[in-house]
Each structure stands twice: as structure tokens, then as C-alpha cells.
Chains A and B, each alone.
Chain A
Amino acid sequence: MRAIAADKGMKPPVRAEAGDSLIKEAWIRFRRNKLAMIGLFMTFSIIFAAIFAGALAPYDPKAQLAFTVDPALKLAAPSVQHPMGNDLYGRDILSRVLYGARISLEIGIFATLVTIMIGVPLGAIAGYMGGIWDDLISWLVNVIFAFPFILFVLAVVSVFRNPSLYLVFVAIGLVNWVALCRITRGQFISLRGSEFVEAARALGLPTWKIIFRHILPNAIAPIIVQATLGMGGIITLEAGLAYLGFGAQPPTPSWGLMISEGQQYIARGQWWWSMFPGIAIMYTVLAFNFLGDGLRDALDVRQKR
């Protein structure tokens, strides 16, 4: 051993050829999947709309044009000036749908973060430690799974008199973590027994390195897929809450709220107030589902090129 150390300094450094990491290979697989690429494009378009809503929206989403500009704009049908029409107060629906993307994405991203922050550590503890920890956490997961989702969120939100958006995504996160927890737990259980983890233990590596360098990177793919697929569910859940009056409050341009406000006018033929935000929700949920499915296929190590 010492002998190697002595003579190595003489030689010029050995060049290293670039390796194809699993991420690079996954991207190659992802790119070949049409539906996945459509999902990615759709997702980017929503993110784009959310970020640049201020520049893209032709009008102020809260400006009640029926009172300030022209009374005829009250529930005006789609036109060239207002492609998605106007609502009861003359507000431009296109502008409100664009700003609505902000609310939906905000809720989706933050609720998912809360979900990950609770679900992944608890799943990891249950899976890696096993025993009493596993029993306890699995029991909690089963209890929450058995509870009607929307009721639980409603209960959490209604405890506080003043429903704010922060409360909504914390509430959603508090119930939504269970699915992620189960997946993480399963991954940790199977990886804990794998030979490369045993090898890491034989090498005398500390537990934190085994968890963060050896188990987590191999468990991350299903977690990402589940989180992405969960985004669609969270966005629908937020719309449902807003529809019931527990989510975003008027005059916030929330898609769920707009559907709720416009629903009574659908039967009278003034469908645009509810329909366009409805389409926006569908588009967003589809986008995340396509993306999630594509990621699942791309990240699946068993499926080689």
C-alpha cells in the first residue's frame, strides 16, 4: 500500500471519462416520452403564467370595470377585448385566470413542501428504525387514511376564524403527508436490507452517511413521482375548499372561488365565469399527472433503454 503512494506522484494525472449518471439517462428516457414532454411543457406554461401574470394579464384582476368603465361589461360574453368575458362586477376573467395560476401553484408548491417535510422524515424513521417507531407511525398513518380527507382539512381550517392561504396549505399538508410517508417507509425498508447498504456498514460509515448518501438518493425517485402526482390532487383540494368558502376569500382571484361565484349563472347561459377557471384547473391537474407519469417511467431503474 505504501509503495503505491510513493510512486503515484511521478505519473501525470489520469484523465477521467465522463460517466452517464442515472439522472442523465432518465432525462434521455423522459425526452422520448411524448406525453411526458407535453406534461413538462404544460407545467412550464402554468409556471410562466404564474410568474408573468402581471405582464400577461390585460387588466387588473380586481378592477371592477362594470362600475368604473362601462356598465355593459357586467357579465359580458367573451369578446376581442375580453377573450374570456367578464364577471358580475365587470372584472376581466382572463386576467383573473392568469393570476389564479399564482394562487394554485403557491398552494400546490407550499402544501407539497409541508407534505414532504412531514412525510419523508417520518417515513424514513419508520422504515429505517423499524420496531416501535414503525408501529407508532404506521398506526398514525392508518388513522389519518381512514379519515375523510376534506372533512379533516375543513376541521383544521375552521378551527381558525380567519382562513388564510397559509392555513390552507398547512392544513392540506397535515393530511396529505400520509401517502408520501408510506412510500418513503417502503423504500427505506427495502433499501435498508440491500447489499450496498450492508457494504456501507461494513466500511464503517456513520448512520447519517448511510441514510443521506446511500439510502435517500435511491429512494428519491418514487418520492418525486408521488409528490408531483400529489400536486394535482392538492390543487383540486384547494379549489374544493375555496368553492366551499374555506379557502381563498374574495376578491382573491382563486379558480375554485371563481367557479363557486359563477355557478348560478351557468344555467342562465353565462357559462364563462365558471367554465374558464374550471378548464384552468383541469389543465393544471393534467399537466402534473402527465409530468408525474413521465417521471415515473423515466426514473424507474428497472426500465433500461
Chain B
Amino acid sequence: MTEGNSERHLVDVLHLKKYYPIKRGILRRTAGYVKAVNDVTFQIRRGETLGLVGESGCGKTTIGRSILRLIVPSAGTVAFDGADVEALQKSDDAALRRRMQIIFQDPYGSLNPRMNVSDIIGEAPLYHRLVSKAELDDYVVSIMEKVGLRPESRAKYPHEFSGGQRQRIGIARVLAMKPEFVVCDEPVSALDVSIQSQVLNLLADLRSEFSLTYLFISHDLSVVKHISDRVAVLYLGKMVEIAPKADFFSQPMHPYSQALISAIPVPDPDATKNRVILEGDVPSPINPPDGCIFSTRCPKAMDRCKAEEPILVDRGGHETACFLYG
């Protein structure tokens, strides 16, 4: 892998691609590919929270699942702490598995309705021998207290909880594995706004208490602004900008990022804002545009953008894939 970098980089994603074949006809021949993730490279530093933003269908979730090897990528590698996660698939490397976990978006679909909370939280730690059977109950109680659930309700079933509580169960299940890295896949977008901030604060508290590293996937920039150290913007399966949070929100470089930031609602009716309104729809990931993938909707598109594809260039820690900057 990228030699010598494992000190700083906990997760190293290199040229990751995921193409889904489209089968047509009775013979089910491959008629084309959905390019869900198209050559994405980025790193997540130990202890940081990288916010990954983008519209629905841009490949955010695919990236998250590929890092955990829940999805097998078409090409490219993912290294976790210097080890290729491909091992996860072949040998079910339990140690590596334990260290990286995922919090899901849907607090209803992500909990087994036939298991009580105690089993949901305790099953995996018991299986991986993180705790003994005798300690398990105390362990579950302590984890539930950490995430703000009443331990008395550990014999209850998921359907007896509210959405926010269920999300806390999902967080507890992850925490019980003592992970180092957690993919948060839109963990608050299915929740009420009033609950969102509680869960976000919980995630932030746990991050500092257990020195966790997050990949925080969201389509909501204000959520990402709240929790991230750096922000990565994905458009149509490609990374268009990665920057430290402050830089990103004060000086977004890519025209797509500028449009996204200008669309964040401001709670002030008198505020005058120059909103960048994007024309048209996101092109199909089956047939992405030539040149820069954003050129079809970019207000600043030049001739060069339709012909050549810009690559991600690092300008003092602020990376952008755009010809506007040379």
C-alpha cells in the first residue's frame, strides 16, 4: 500500500471502482455498466471525521460498504491500517472486522426484529470473545448507558422503541465491538430534526471518548458541517473536492461545491445570498459525460471541460478536480 503512510492514514482508498453490470434480454447479456463509484482515491486520517457528501445515487453508500468489504469493488484497493481489507472476504479476519464498523441509515431495517436489545448488542462481542458469557449482561448494561439507553429495557424488542432510540441501539451494537473506525451511513437522515442533533452529539461524544475515526456519509451539508474535520464531495461516482472543513465552507473551489453550499438554508429572512442554481438533472451514471463529469451543469464550464477530464489536484491540503484552478 502507500508505504509509510499508515501512521497518519487509518483508511487508504486507492482507485476504487464499482461498476454494476446491466443485464438485458433473455440471455442476460451485459448491456452496459452503472458506474456507481468511478476511480475514487482518498485517505482518512486516524482520529479525524471525514464528511462525505453528495446527492443520492452518487455512490456515497457504495464507498462506505466497499471500505468494510460488504460490497466487493470492481477495481482498486482499500487498506485499513496498512492491511488490505480484501482479507476480510477470504478468511473472515475477525480482528480486522471488529476494528471497523458501520452505523446504518434506517433505524427500522437495520435491527433484527426477532432479537431483543441485549442479543442485538451482545451477540457479536460474545462470538468474538470480547466478553465472556458471565460478563455479557454487565457489558450490555454498560454499553447501553454509554449511548443513553435505559439498561432496564434490554429485554425489549426493537419495535418497542422510537426511531431515535433504535438508532442508539444501532450505535450501541457498533460500540460493543470496540471499533477504531466507524462508517456512519446517513445515521441521522431518517430521524426527526429534534432527534438528529441528539444523535449527532452522541456520535461526537463517543468519538472523543473512544478516539474513534469516522467516515460520515450524508447528503445534508449542515449535518456534515457540525461533525466533520474534513469534507469530501462526491458527484456521479467521482470525487470533485476534498478540503478541511473551514476552508471548504469559506472558500469552496469546485463549482459544484459552491452550488451545494449556496443551497444551505440560512435562518435569516433578510440575508441576501447569491444562490447558484444548477440547471438540469444529474446525468445517468450509465453514460457519464465526457471530459469533466460536471461540465453539463457547470455554470463556469469551458471548452476544455468537455474534452478533458480534470484530476484531483492538491493545493495546500485543499484538493479539487477543476480546470478553473489551472
A: residues with CB less than 8 A from B are 1, 4-5, 8-9, 13-22, 194-196, 198-206, 209, 213-214, 217-218, 301
Contacts and interface: CB of A to CB of B under 8 A. Distances in A.
A202 B68 CA distance: 7
Given A203-B101, A204-B92, A214-B112, A21 B137 contact: no
Contacts of A206: 92, 127
B128 A16 contact: no
B152 A16 contact: yes
Q: Is the interface of B mostly helix, strand, loop or mixed?
A: helix
Contact of A202 (B101, B111, B137, B153): B101
A18 B117 CA distance: 11
B155 A199 contact: no
- 9 closest Cβ pairs, A-B complex: A19-B156, A204-B97, A203-B124, A195-B110, A217-B114, A195-B109, A16-B155, A4-B142, A196-B112
B128 A195 contact: no
B45 interface: no
B113 A19 contact: no
A173 B151 CA distance: 47
Contacts of A199: 102, 104, 110-111, 170, 173
11 contacts: A4-B143, A15-B152, A19-B160, A198-B110, A199-B102, A199-B104, A202-B102, A203-B101, A203-B123, A209-B123, A214-B112
Interface of B: 65, 68, 70, 92, 94, 97-98, 101-102, 104, 106, 109-118, 123-124, 127-128, 135, 137-139, 141-143, 146, 151-157, 159-160, 170, 173, 177-178, 210
B315 to A, nearest CB: 36
A18 B155 contact: yes
B197 to A, nearest CB: 23
Contacts of B94: 204
A22 B153 CA distance: 16
B152 A204 contact: no
A203 B182 CA distance: 12
B30 to A, nearest CB: 16
B141 A22 contact: no
B177 to A, nearest CB: 7
